[in-house]
Amino acid sequence: MCRHLGYLGPARPLYDLVYAGEHSMEHQAYAPRMTQGNLLNADGFGAGWYQAGEAFRFRRAQPIWTDASFREVARAVSAPCAVVAIRSATTGFPVDESCAQPFRAGTRLFSHNGKIDGFAGVEAKLRELAGDLAEVPDARAPVDSALLFAIAARHWRDGASLAEGLAATVRAVTGLASGRFNLLAADGTSLAATTRGDSLFLRIQPDAVWLASEPLDPDPAWQAVPDGSLVAADLASGARVLPL
């Protein structure tokens, strides 16, 4: 079920984040090692990044390895913070660009790796938790992840930090439904992520922090994040791994 990556550090070309490494994000699209229930992540992809404090995105509803134009553009765009996601669509949801992540709310980017079990039975309650979607157009996408994003965005509007918004979302939704709830978010100066039912790895370097569903290379600095954890990271404090 999908793969995602978050990066925070010195500006790097998007190409390095998406295509570099023997187990790059592109490679994980057609040969993932740790996903559950699927062999491909070929139902779309997206990259979000920051320049001058503004969040930009590129999203498509096609396999990432088929988009030669993005591969070229990725060489020319560098950013100090980015979120990359590749998608394996859950049965019942369309393969559509609006469902490709990351989603965006202001300067925050969001990605969900996982699924909500029995979504139809809890959708109405999730919409109650999400509240007014007018301020977050991406939350209207026809996919379960969009309502998780809407709930997180509501917490952020109410004053929650990036990490607190994700943690509160997972706690609320797991009270209603089972599923896999690996969430990832960025705001340009920090990253946050949750692990609930799927893999996540953390790599801390002297000047950078990486979060990824699977290690991009054999570097032993990649460390598995325990299931049921919340990760909050910024360059001043490093990364903190806390129980959800």
Contact between 213 and 200 under an 8 Å Cβ cutoff? The reply is: yes
Residue with tokens 């049921």: 228
99 catalytic per annotation: no
Return d(Cα 38, Cα 19) in angstroms, integer: 21
Rounded to the nearest 10°, the torsion over CA 91, 211, 192, 32 is 10
Q: Which of 1, 2, 177, 191 is catalytic?
A: 2
Q: How many Å apart are CA 73 and CA 66, to the nearest integer?
A: 14
DSSP summary character for residue 118 = T
Is residue 166 within 8 Å of 137, Cβ to Cβ?
A: no
Distance CA 121, CA 22 (A): 41
Half-sphere exposure of 179 (CA within 13 A, CB side): 25
| Active site residues per annotation | 2
